[in-house]
Amino acid sequence: MQTPEESILGIDFGGTKVALRVMHQDGTTRDQRLKIGVGEDAHSVIDRTLAAAVELGHNVAAAGISTPGIVHDERVDLAPNVVGWSDLSLTNRLRDGLGAREIVVENDVKAAALAEVREGELRGVDAGLYVNLGTGIAIAPIVAGAIVRGAHGAAGEIGYGVVGTVLDFSGKGAPLEEFAGGGGLTRRIRESGLGINDVESLVALSATNSEAATLWMSAIDEIARHLVTAALTIDPARIVLGGGMVRAGDALMVPLSERLVGALPYAPTIAVSAFGHDAALSGALMLANDRLTGR
């Protein structure tokens, strides 16, 4: 149980940022966001996060943590976007550093899906997909109103899907993520000779420049191909999109929706996350509260 002076803490680790939120029993919150430096190592990110958590508030009863990758007690697998993240005992490091009585660590996309299932666009949906389109690309399948985890906790890791016509089954890298995720697409933009450096600029330029439009649509087409395959496995009633790429608005939603609706035999409704960039953070707070209440 939580005493009146205690709070709960949510932390969302992303590929380029860390978001923190403390929630007190009266419902008031305090937030802080940190930017992960280019090439910054995992230990530095954790140290700065722990310092920020102390600044936000003391007497934390429970902490919920969302992170890219597959969470194990001693490590996090499949988390390539922060140097050394997979070599870190994240759960133990945060348990020692935060001093909370209870701590729970969850994959970020599954945490975001939990928020959508509980209080967002997937509430009451029997079969659905939560889709994260950001630095990483992954989905969380929803079946019978519950998040599907898989045998190893890796259900929905479509960022590892094969791209193109040359099949590479070596298991090296994350082909879809490297081609169409935020980091991979940014790299292709900078190599394109278009004279721009980020996805936002590409989206703006694609309205008037055919080369930029082709580059942007190549990412959407590849994402759509993998989402169609994923959707065919569970026949979702609704697909909910979250992550940084959703900021592209209609430039993403319209063509992606057209491809999904056109390709699937039973068209799902397609919506944007009710929580925006806070979906995984909101889910992390829910997990912290669940741990206290025994839900």
Strand pairing report for 60-67 and 102-107: parallel
Instruction: Indicate the SS3 state at residue 182.
Output: helix
Name every residue whose Cβ is closer than 8 Å to that of residue 249 and which is 6 or more positions away in sequence. Answer: none
Q: Which pLDDT does position 4 carry in this prediction?
A: 57
| Other residues' Cβ atoms within 10 Å of the Cβ of residue 89 | 14
Q: Taking the model in full, what pTM does it have?
A: 0.93
- Average pLDDT by consecutive 10-residue portion of the chain (295 residues)? 77 93 91 92 94 87 94 84 85 87 94 98 98 95 97 95 78 88 95 96 97 98 97 98 96 97 96 96 96 86
**Short-list 57, 56, 99, 92, CA closest to 72:** 92
| Other residues' Cβ atoms within 10 Å of the Cβ of residue 84 | 14
Q: Answer yes or no: are the C-beta atoms of 106 and 65 closer than 8 Å.
A: yes
Tokens coding 160 = 């590892």
Sequence ranges of the domains in the chain: 7-107+278-293, 121-273
Sign of the dihedral through C-alpha 181, 183, 188, 194: positive
CATH topology of domain 121-273: Nucleotidyltransferase; domain 5 (3.30.420)
The H or E element that residue 11 is part of is strand 7-13
Q: Which pLDDT does position 3 carry in this prediction?
A: 61
- Decide which of 3.30.420.40, 3.40.50.2300, 3.30.950.10, 3.40.50.150 is the CATH code for 7-107+278-293: 3.30.420.40
Instruction: Indicate the SS3 state at residue 138.
Output: strand
Q: Answer yes or no: are the C-beta atoms of 141 and 129 closer than 8 Å.
A: yes
Q: Which pLDDT does position 73 carry in this prediction?
A: 77
Sign of the dihedral through C-alpha 110, 284, 246, 275: positive
Secondary structure, 3-state, 75-102: CEECCCCCECHHHCCHHHHHHHHHCCCE
Asked if domains 7-107+278-293 and 121-273 share a fold, the reply is yes
Residues 115, 78: Cα–Cα separation, whole Å: 23
Q: Answer yes or no: are the C-beta atoms of 10 and 64 closer than 8 Å.
A: yes
